[in-house]
Chains A and B, each alone.
Chain A
Amino acid sequence: MNPPQAASNLALTRPRKSLADYAEAALPKIVLGPTLIVALIFIYGFIVWTGWLSFTESRLLPRYELAGVVQYINLFANERWWTALKNLAIFGGLFIFCCLALGLLLAILLDQRIRAEGFLRSIYLYPMALSFIVTGTAWKWILNPGLGIQNLVRQWGFESFTFEWIVTPGMSIYTVVIAGAWQSSGFVMALFLAGLRGIDDSIIKAAQVDGAGPVRIYASIVIPSLRPVFFSSLIILAHIAIKSFDLVMALTGGGPGFSSDLPATFMYTFAFNRNQIGLGAASAMMMLATVMAIIVPMIYSETRRHRRG
């Protein structure tokens, strides 16, 4: 049935409402349309665009003649990219571990019927409201060897105390872990605390009747039942780690030299400061691939769970 005919049929019975009805039926699509177009162009289109650039020899200006995988070969022949990947492994691993450990510990402590729990919780969480640039600036000052912690401890009487990680190649990436964990661990605490509050009390009671002590109960009942929280925290933290850019820029600037580069700072440097658009695009595509390798299985399992439930 073609629309004009349908409209005229309807017009016999309800002359004025027919057009409005059509408009009404199309409205949801009209409202959602712009967002769909935006997503298709600016997410998917741009991914394809960047992907295309990564197969060209673009330098200062984008060029679109395909040149094969030369940029990927260059990328993996680039010592600095390997440094960035190694740093991502160090930073990602330690950052995730520290946030999970600190977050779990704080959540368990806060779950002991604490007075002023709300107050303490908001202290642990406030760094999350700050920009990574602000966090980086603050820790850069705290960690600077001349007047920061090193100086403080020396004034306390430990004259030979040295803490110069932030200016030591190979160690500066660990200062990024320190600042990153300070910023994000409170958030993991909040997730764990919500998880702890959701545990069924009757299981605990049963274990107590069987004579299990508190340590035993935490180790073999409470913590294992927090598995889903571990899982989602892990995903979120991995995601933060891979995208980490601001914190490194503010704290170490990728330095000394390029010893604390991460893939995100590598991409920025090559694409925008060194006029290596092709290489920058290739590194961006590698970042996307890494994120997708983590996220897609999660979305898949999430949607499957929802469908079953």
Chain B
Amino acid sequence: MAERLERTQSAGTQLIGRVIVYGLLIAFALYYLMPLFVMITTSVKTLAEIRTGNLLSLPSTITMEPWVKAWGSACTGVDCTGLKGNFMNSVSFVVPAVIISTLIGAFNGYVLTMWRFKGSDLMFSLLLVGCFIPFQVVLLPMAQTLGSLGIANSITGLIFVHVVYGLAFTTLFFRNFYVSVPAELTKAARIDGAGFFTIFFRIILPLSPPIIVVCVIWQFTQIWNDFLFGVVFSSGQRQPITVALNNLVNTSTGVKEYNVDMAAAIIAGLPTLLVYIVAGKYFLRGLTAGAVKG
């Protein structure tokens, strides 16, 4: 579209236009990168240098001390064992929650498109609402329920919560993907006598890698970055990394160690950032599918 617009302009205005466009784009790129730059440089400066320098100055000496402290000995509330335990906590509930919710979502999507029955559309609409509710509205009952199930403040409890409230999204992803799979494919298989699971594993699953990637990335990002469920349903040593980071930054006893704060923030953000760098295309696809449709 843009190329056609330009043909009507003279060479001079075109050049000026290009300069302005690129200038703006680069300025904005710097603006978006600035916080990341500040985080990284701050995290390797000494406290003395932070006090004498400024936000954008480069570190004159690089120290890894803040990173070591953020990982192993910074105080996140009562105990001072750094983020390593919380990082592992996050891993240990994010991985199962992502796998379980994706699996169930795949089966749900399969049924909702290939094995529709009376009421299955209604069910889908009922489920869709789950994508929108503000989770504040389920927190109090869920806290009670987890308590009476005996899984309050446990990794199991967090897996449970994330699976339950992730299902709406994963089902939506797979349903919208399978809708575009030609029905003839499964019809033919059914005539040949293939059953529910045979069709799923032999025909549908081999078609699914793209949507599985999208779904896994979406769920991973959502659950890793979650703060609300983590802060309400866990405490102390069981807390996920986002909650621990927030505690670390906001417990102000003694000198404020900004470099440790920044190292901790990068540690907390690194897994999702890596996923984004490695699979950005799928990340965006999930974002638009999950958000526009959901």
Task: List chain A residues, Cβ under 8 A from B4.
Answer: 201, 204-205, 208
Tell which of B5, B231, B245, B288 touches A134, judged by Cβ atoms closer than 8 Å.
B245
* CB pair B134 A284 closer than 8 Å: yes
A46 and B167 alpha carbons, distance in the complex (Å) = 16
B contact patch SS: helix
Binds B, one of A66-74, A164-172, A235-243: A235-243
Chain A 230-264 per-residue mask, 1 if CB under 8 angstroms from chain B, else 0: 00100010010011011001100100000000011
* CB pair B167 A32 closer than 8 Å: no
- Tell me which residues from 130 to 145 in chain A have a Cβ below 8 Å from any Cβ of chain B: 130-142
Q: A62-B140, A151-B54, A287-B137 are in contact. Are A32 and B268 (CB under 8 A)?
A: no
* CB pair A147 B258 closer than 8 Å: yes
Q: Shortest 4 CB-CB distances between A and B: which pairs?
A: A131-B225, A28-B115, A129-B276, A246-B227
A contact patch SS: helix
Q: A53-B140, A245-B227, A284-B139 are in contact. Are A137 and B261 (CB under 8 A)?
A: yes
Task: List chain A residues, Cβ under 8 A from B24.
Answer: 105, 109
Task: List chain A residues, Cβ under 8 A from B142.
Answer: 42, 46
* CB pair A129 B272 closer than 8 Å: yes
A242 shortest CB reach to chain B, Å = 6
Tell which of B50, B171, B288 touches A190, judged by Cβ atoms closer than 8 Å.
B288
A176 and B246 alpha carbons, distance in the complex (Å) = 16
* CB pair B137 A214 closer than 8 Å: no
* CB pair B25 A120 closer than 8 Å: yes
Task: List chain B residues, Cβ under 8 A from A10.
Answer: none
**Most A CB within 10 A of own CB, among B1, B6, B168:** B1
Interface size on B, residues (CB 8 A): 98
* CB pair B137 A46 closer than 8 Å: yes
Q: Which residues of B contact A (CB under 8 A)?
A: 1-6, 8-9, 18, 21-22, 24-25, 28-29, 31-36, 38-39, 42, 50-51, 54-56, 104, 107-108, 110-112, 115-117, 120, 123, 125-130, 132-142, 144, 164-165, 167-168, 171, 195-197, 221, 224-228, 231-232, 242, 245-246, 249-250, 258, 261-262, 264-266, 268-269, 272-273, 275-276, 280, 283-284, 287-288, 291-292
Whether A11 is near chain B, meaning CB under 8 Å from some CB there, is no
A95 and B212 alpha carbons, distance in the complex (Å) = 32
Q: A47-B137, A137-B245, A246-B242 are in contact. Are A151 and B284 (CB under 8 A)?
A: no
**Most B CB within 10 A of own CB, among A27, A50, A138, A196:** A138
A30 and B87 alpha carbons, distance in the complex (Å) = 37
**Most A CB within 10 A of own CB, among B31, B128, B137, B139:** B137
